[in-house]
């Protein structure tokens, strides 16, 4: 089951949710279906010493390549 990231166009709340089949996603804050699907970013873990010396991955909130905490999103 894919996890999708959305931004509610009515209350501006960002959230992620599982979407199954023809199910329609709803904002957990206001129950709106007026949503904008966001670009999802995923991380791939690496084992060994290379993981400790590599640069951080993209921010999980916005995909900023500078890494987690580099953007202004919560």
Tens-place pLDDT, residues 3-62: 789 999 999 999 998 888 888 999 999 999 999 998 776 656 665 554 444 555 666 666
Is the distance from CB of 20 to CB of 1 less than 8 angstroms?
Answer: yes
Tokens of 35: 């949503």
Its pTM stands at 0.52
CA dihedral sign of residues 29, 24, 34, 74: positive
């Amino acid at each position: 089951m894919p996890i999708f990231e959305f931004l509610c166009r009515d209350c501006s709340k960002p959230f992620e949710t599982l979407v199954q089949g023809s199910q329609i996603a709803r904002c957990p804050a206001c129950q709106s279906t007026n949503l904008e699907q966001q670009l999802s970013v995923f991380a791939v873990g690496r084992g060994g010493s290379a993981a400790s010396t590599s640069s951080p991955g993209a921010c999980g909130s916005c995909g900023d390549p500078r890494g987690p905490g580099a953007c202004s999103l919560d």
